[in-house]
Structure 1
């Protein structure tokens, strides 16, 4: 199966050159040096722009090439697989523009799109020093009777811990436009710092962070800055709603950061295990090392399956993105942190050292990824978002409602995606989750296939167990469906368990809808045939739900065989691994230049 987002990401990766070559601009050695000096990777970002990556951040209606959100996911994943600082520093421009893509005017979209394509960094100004994730407590405001008689907003206050606050020329700014605030007391302004009086704003110092040390994590303070009324994005007072809808897109795309980190960490761990000798044997031959590697490999595939479905659901299940994005933003950062922690035990001291194994890349990777869980709503924020939707989720699951047709499209990698309609974004999935509502049908389908293929019988049994647990989890959720404030810990635990059930439903849907298209691929076939990857993934989910194991050692040994084969053949260990195209000269502009631009 030829999957276009994977193919484009491979072409981009090929254009960036061999990361092991210290002479390349985007090499591991260069990234380590920049990290040591806490310096922004400006030269590397220019390399992205030469290829045309910023065009992929801009929807086609505003002059860019963004038609398929999985394409953005795979491109950013390719960057994150090499270095998270670069992915976060450059990808912030996409996050900064989303409020305009959700609610801006055609003129704003076209102007911002042109800036982004030209390489202008954009930022998103939400958090404040005293309030953190509590956006309703924000103090950045428009003074008194603003907009004033001159036709400008007068903006004052400070935003802090903002990615690209200093480097960014344009800022999507959440600001208080009613003195008493409240849900309708905030608006989004598209602030162009190039048009402000220099004495009405100042940049706050860069914050020294443990991870992504080279990123521009700083802040900005305004003192009566005159911002034109035309900078208002959407309606006055709709700022909080716009931001929350925009975060549904950004949280889903943050999955790319965790996917890239998982790819990198798993490869470092496997390389170490294959090369390290201990007690007269290679580490990979020791049972505990194999156990760690196979568990990490299964989790990496689990995360990839969830991210694939979630990215497609942006367009296929837009009205349910409030659920999808919260599940994805909770599961992938926390799950990848767990993968890296497990691999740390495998590498031992070398996981913490620089200049000993793989130029110290693992310790940098761990430091960098720890921050991903904080972006665009932390773990508790995303779980709380799910708690707020318990009522509709429970009702929808019991009635079998939700966008089940959209779930089928999201899970079928060959199905064409409709264009994104931002007007369908909703803060609440009013009819429940079509993904979990589709779970019974997926279980029936794999049970039917198991009747024809006995090798699928244990996978079908695991699927039936998942359905039973999912039903029980929804019963638990019912107890907390009216909770809005002072959420008890048990409600968060129910939300955590729900994310695992949703992930299982997505994985089952992906396998039942897509396996016929990919199981005969010579590279990926072993993962898809007889449900190998699905079996291990369901086992991992059921164990985290407190259930007995659903897969034995022999199943994980088969998974390890696929993992090692990918390494031997120089492939990415993935559900849909990339092919290796002929190298294009750097002067052609890569996949986004010349005749290849039409394939985007």
Structure 2
């Protein structure tokens, strides 16, 4: 029996990200062991009781998880966003509430401080996090956002400071945070006075969380949610609460720009981390299928079950390829990272929610179990849709993709000298990346590096030669290239119409998101440098992923060759037996 072990954060300071993940996984122990205090049974029970498991928080305290959110130059361990995502997947694999409540809420606040805070504000935030403190944030809500979060704060000048009023109905960790990041719009005094030129402009403030009973402040009752039930979601209400001028983050009235710099980071990171939650859903379903005899409809011997499992595995690989490109683009292609982050935030929640539904058909009534061997599946199914919420939800992300298509209907590579097939963009744990800082405001690039790289990837796939799998890859790559050409044509026609109808723009955004994901998949295959016998090295993995993706674009897409099916099925079972994750990294998980 493998149980949780202590993990020391001080031991991890100089180690590679792979070593840190290994130690964290070992600390969590075997998720399937009923005797493990950090096993699935314990997390399910804590979720049922709407709390985060204290033993898990203690483990993360010892690991020093907050150091992963702090740049190395400020004493932390943050270098590459893709590396941070991998560490956090180990947390989300156990409990999305733990990942959001302990980690993501603080990081969503900190990233704005790293982007626009003064040197003193950055040092203070780093010291707070490294000491184990928590942060909570209230981002401004885009017009296309969700009503669950659609309310705001306002400020009016008051001598050398400001008076803060208003309320936010739902902030994760509001009751436990030491520090609050608040975006507040410029308002008018009750008598109507105020500068109309700055009305509704937005400023960011970093304040200490007021103590209960502080005049002008009220912590609203906890809100319950269907998913991530352990998260402590409260509202905040301020009534002419005084804030000093030194609490402004960055320049006054520059909050919207700061939020815009942070959005690509949180759009890319959150759904990418949540792949750990989807991994648990797939692993639970594989365990269920393997426990059934050959004549059972749920057995791996039946085509229906095999198809559902292989489709889910392929979707996870596809999502991870896109997530990899989006997170690394923040370092390598910062001017394009906003669009790539929007694609991740829009597409991943949709694909993962659909994946879990398809897997639930395999589990049957066990998909609804709230206890027992397979209860982790129901928990994952409830938690995953929550990743589509937030200050930059799916609707706002889809609108950002549509704006990209209207601005760049040709979808060609940039002309500013960046190579459209830049290898580092597609390599998991590739070479050390430039320092991560949310991109400064700058004119957007004149091209699309990811989708623009597809032409060259198609050319390489068509030159493979070989057997049935290689021919299938060439055919699927060619079909994806043809879909891109159709999209380019439709985008040009749309723009020529001057005022494109919204439904048609959004339909094109859906197609673009899938084509971009396919380009990421081909790029990972094209630039792979790992072991020659791995799934990513040969064409089998890419064939199965592209076959699944192309069926979404064209239901008449030919089926993949039997060799590809058998190769992916063997990999699915090997990773289950070896306790490895179902993403690009095949991470050894705790045992």
Q: Is the shorter-chain TM-score for this pair beyond 0.5, marking a shared fold?
A: yes
Q: How does 1:336-355 map to 2 (within 5 A)?
A: 336-355=352-371
Question: What is the aligned partner in structure 1 of residue 569 from structure 2?
Answer: 560
1-structure distance, mates of 2:386, 2:499: 27
Question: What is the aligned partner in structure 1 of residue 513 from structure 2?
Answer: 499
Deviation for aligned residue 1:135? 12
2-structure distance, mates of 1:484, 1:473: 17
Of 40, 53, 60, 1:28 maps to 40
Q: Which moved more, 1:539-548 or 1:62-71?
A: 539-548
Q: Deviations over 1:414-446 (max 9, x none)?
A: 3331112434455x7331321111111222222
Q: How does 1:255-404 map to 2 (within 5 A)?
A: 255-277=271-293, 279=295, 283-358=299-374, 360-397=375-412, 403-404=418-419
Determine if contact 1:129/1:161 at 8 Å carries over to the other structure: no
Deviation for aligned residue 1:99? 1.0
2-structure distance, mates of 1:130, 1:453: 51
Deviation for aligned residue 1:171? 1.2
TM-score by length of 2: 0.89
Deviation for aligned residue 1:152? 2.0
Question: What is the aligned partner in structure 1 of residue 8 from structure 2?
Answer: none
Determine if contact 2:320/2:584 at 8 Å carries over to the other structure: yes
Question: What is the aligned partner in structure 1 of residue 126 from structure 2?
Answer: 113
1:468 aligns with 2:482: yes
2-structure distance, mates of 1:61, 1:418: 13
Determine if contact 1:316/1:406 at 8 Å carries over to the other structure: no
Question: What is the aligned partner in structure 2 of residue 98 from structure 1?
Answer: 111
2-structure distance, mates of 1:28, 1:80: 12
Q: Which moved more, 1:132-141 or 1:279-288?
A: 132-141
TM-score by length of 1: 0.87
Structure-2 change in CA distance of 1:41 and 1:10 (3 Å): same
1-structure distance, mates of 2:64, 2:222: 28
Q: Deviations over 1:147-179 (max 9, x none)?
A: x22x22211110121111222121111101254
2-structure distance, mates of 1:217, 1:53: 21
Q: How does 1:124-135 map to 2 (within 5 A)?
A: 124-126=137-139, 133=146
Determine which structure has the larger helix proportion and give its number.
1
Deviation for aligned residue 1:577? 1.8
1:81 aligns with 2:117: no
Of 216, 228, 249, 1:200 maps to 216
Determine if contact 1:171/1:190 at 8 Å carries over to the other structure: yes
Q: How does 1:509-588 map to 2 (within 5 A)?
A: 509-514=523-528, 517-521=529-533, 525=534, 527-546=535-554, 548-552=556-560, 554=562, 555-579=564-588
Q: Deviations over 1:349-373 (max 9, x none)?
A: 1100223442x11111111112111
Give the number of equivalent residue pairs. 567
Determine if contact 1:190/1:233 at 8 Å carries over to the other structure: yes
Of 435, 447, 452, 1:437 maps to 452
Structure-2 change in CA distance of 1:158 and 1:120 (3 Å): same
Structure-2 change in CA distance of 1:191 and 1:38 (3 Å): same
SS state at 2:163 partner: strand
Deviation for aligned residue 1:128? 7.7
2-structure distance, mates of 1:558, 1:242: 47
Structure-2 change in CA distance of 1:569 and 1:416 (3 Å): same
Q: What RMSD in Å do the two structures reach over aligned CA positions?
A: 3.0
Q: Deviations over 1:95-134 (max 9, x none)?
A: 1211111111111111001101111110111368999558
Deviation for aligned residue 1:569? 2.5
1-structure distance, mates of 2:150, 2:321: 37
1-structure distance, mates of 2:518, 2:35: 43
Gap runs ≥5 in structure 2: 1-14, 189-195
1-structure distance, mates of 2:394, 2:351: 11
Deviation for aligned residue 1:499? 0.5
SS state at 1:198 partner: coil
Deviation for aligned residue 1:308? 1.8
Deviation for aligned residue 1:376? 3.6
SS state at 1:172 partner: strand
Question: What is the aligned partner in structure 1 of residue 78 from structure 2?
Answer: 66
Q: Deviations over 1:300-329 (max 9, x none)?
A: 111121112222112111111111100111
Q: Which moved more, 1:45-54 or 1:34-43?
A: 34-43
Of 37, 51, 70, 1:39 maps to 51
Q: How does 1:179-258 map to 2 (within 5 A)?
A: 179=188, 185-194=201-210, 198-258=214-274
Gap runs ≥5 in structure 1: 584-600
Structure-2 change in CA distance of 1:429 and 1:560 (3 Å): farther
Deviation for aligned residue 1:40? 3.5
Q: Which moved more, 1:175-184 or 1:218-227?
A: 175-184
Deviation for aligned residue 1:402? 8.1
2-structure distance, mates of 1:183, 1:131: 21
Deviation for aligned residue 1:463? 0.9
